[in-house]
Amino acid sequence: MSLAAIWSGNFHQIRNSRGSKCCFKLFRLHTEFIPGKVLDAGRCNPQSFTTRSEGSTWKSQSSKSSSINLKLHDGTVGSSTNINTNQLQLHEFKAIQCYDLQEKIADNKVIIDRPATILVFDIETTGFSRRNERIIEFALRDLIGGKNSTFQTLVNPEKVVLNTDVHGISSYMVNRPDVPRFEELVPILLQYVRSRQMAGKPVLWVAHNGRRFDVPFIIKEFQRCSEEVPADWLFIDTLPLARQLVKPDGSKLTSLSLKALREHYDIPLVGPAHRAMQDVTTLCYVLQRITFDLKLTVPELMDRAFRASDINTVPP
């Protein structure tokens, strides 16, 4: 089987973040993350983050406020979310169920054996240089779907944002005490990924142009925090895959940008482009179509994956 069959069922309804006043959010978190490993209390300071920021260029017919508290409870990260929502539009997406699944019957229950946890992710930054610039937004989606399958947050870069025209994220939105710095985000992110990860299986991270941009930025941010990217994190860049695509007339695509791929596949744009979660949503659909066209399975994707250690970490 190929990845073409990964689209089945439904994503739980996901709110369109356009115009949202909540810029730091762990979507629908109402549970404690206790995946078997607990965080070292010395690595995470109990702290609350609450944001109510709104981009000046956003137009919305909705309003939402969110208060998120992230605290340590007996060595584990607990999270509680209080959300008041008045949203006119809800967007429902199909869930992605991984291909090459082996169904096993045990005690009248179907057990799905998946080769990896697949996370599609995207970042927004203050610029292109991973040495001088910083991540200001991070979003991911677990392709299995289900509860707590999305993760999104603004990140405090502790510097002025000069490229607001690219993504709509201003200095005011991120340089605030209630927006986490990356060093505060790392333990939360690690705990979240562990809560989604299947025992003994790797995590496959998917990004467009990830090898040259997203992954080096993440590596550099981890280095600043004296952390290492986990060895069982694999990365796949969809840009080289897109280079293999051809049009119906047999010609190559003239552009391989995410926008061009979205238009090539007639995928509707949900929310503003160049915001992390909107680009993640687009890439989820693009990934499904690319893997269908190229007849790629999950194991074949994993064969093309690279590790953080494969990236030249010398800043450009």
Distance of CA 235 to the CA centre of its chain: 12
* Residue 167 a catalytic site member: no
Closest to 62 measured CA to CA, from 80, 84, 29, 82 = 84
Residue 20 CA: distances (Å) to CA of 66, 83, 91, 293: 10, 12, 14, 35
Q: Between the CA atoms of 2, 139, 234 and 219, what dihedral angle is there, to the nearest 10 degrees?
A: 160
Burial track 113-143 (b if 16+ CB lie within 10 A, e otherwise): ebbbbbbbbbbbbbeeebeebbbbbbbbbbb
Look up tokens 């539009």; give the residue: 89
* Tokens encoding 49: 């983050």
Residues near 198 by beta carbon (within 8 Å), at least 6 away in sequence: 114, 116, 117
Give me 8's structure tokens.
Answer: 């089945």
Catalytic residue among 12, 30, 91, 274: 274
- What positions carry a catalytic annotation? 274
